[in-house]
Amino acid sequence: MNANSPLNTPIVLKDNYGTPRELKRNDNASLHNLGDGVLCLEFHSKGNTLDSLIYEMGEAALDVLEGHDHYRAMVIGSQAKDFCLGANINQFLQAVALANGDVKLLEPVVGVLQELLMRLRFSAKPIVVAPYGRVLGGGAEVVMAGASVIAPANLRIGLVEVGVGVIPAGGGCKELLRRVVSPQAVNAHNDILPALKAVFERIAFAQVSENGQVAQQRGFLGSDDEIVSKADRLMDVAKQRVIALAEAG
């Protein structure tokens, strides 16, 4: 949908491909102009897995958002089968092989995702994430970095890295602790061990939510995030939400 499209015209990202509305593109990600001062960062790698090309486009998207007054907000979303199946494990394993046991050599590989997600979380302009389908590992970490989330009722989200022998390293462990444990720790009389145990189990057992409500109960979605019954207009609802956040300052 472009800036002059009727409000009831659904956003179809692939219609932007090769047009002026697709502002930037590489093999695995695109930056779109959705009109009304709203950008969209779209993943389109295989399985929408996160890799260096997506990190590169994410940084470029934030540069555009922060560097131009006529852009006031951004949505992160796509319209493939799944929102994100996690980080590209093959790329990570290649880095492990090259490190040859030197853990310090892996820090830049992990750090690039951490830095991108921190930029997303602390952006001065609102960023709304529109996940759907399966949202695994690094995809869940992207979701938790947003200012707000619009998700469908059938959302399946979780930190599943332990299943392939690694610990979530993009900030997901910290974020779940902040969301689940911190509210309990406000009161010094509360016993925070049950909350700590719950977060540990969600990570250690690679638990994936059965639906959006369970995702909210487990801390992957916030209490103010919106769960919608249908996913076919997810991007449209996300755009409306991010505009409302921008207008609210």
36-45 per-position pLDDT tens digit: 999 999 999 9
Alpha-carbon distances of 81 from 37, 46, 47, rounded to whole Å: 27, 10, 8
- To the nearest whole number, what is the mean pLDDT of the chain? 92
pLDDT in tens, 78-123: 999 999 999 887 777 777 777 777 778 777 878 899 999 999 999 9
Mean pLDDT over 163-191 rounds to 91
How far is Cα 227 from Cα 237, in angstroms, rounded to an integer?
10
What are the boundaries of each domain within the chain? 13-247
pLDDT of residue 4: 43
- Radius of gyration for the alpha carbons in the chain, expressed in angstroms and rounded: 18
Classify strands 148-152 and 29-35 as parallel, antiparallel or unpaired. unpaired
How far is Cα 217 from Cα 176, in angstroms, rounded to an integer?
11
pLDDT of residue 3: 44
Classify strands 226-228 and 148-152 as parallel, antiparallel or unpaired. parallel
Residue 7: pLDDT above 90?
no
Q: What is the DSSP letter of 49?
A: -
Q: Quick one: pLDDT band at residue 54, thresholds 50, 70, 90?
A: very high
pLDDT in tens, 181-235: 999 999 989 999 999 999 999 999 999 999 999 999 999 999 999 999 878 899 9
Question: Pick the residue with more confidence: 207 or 7?
Answer: 207
Phi, psi of 116 (to 5 degrees): -65, -45
Q: Quote the percentage of the chain above a pLDDT of 90.
A: 80
Q: Quick one: pLDDT band at residue 1, thresholds 50, 70, 90?
A: very low
| CATH architecture for residues 13-247 | Alpha-Beta Complex (3.90)
Q: Quick one: pLDDT band at residue 76, thresholds 50, 70, 90?
A: very high
Residue 242: pLDDT above 80?
yes
pLDDT of residue 92: 75
Spatial strand order in the sheet of 22-25:
22-25, 29-35, 38-43, 73-77, 127-130, 148-152, 226-228
Q: Quick one: pLDDT band at residue 133, thresholds 50, 70, 90?
A: very high
pTM of this structure: 0.92
**Secondary structure E strands in the chain:** 22-25, 29-35, 38-43, 73-77, 127-130, 134-136, 148-152, 156-158, 226-228
Residues 6+ apart with CB under 8 A from 41: 29, 30, 31, 57, 58, 61, 74, 75, 76, 77
Residue 2: pLDDT above 70?
no
Q: What is the DSSP letter of 72?
A: -
Cβ-contact 243, 40 below 8 angstroms: no
- Percent helix / strand / coil, the chain, rounded to 5: 45, 15, 40
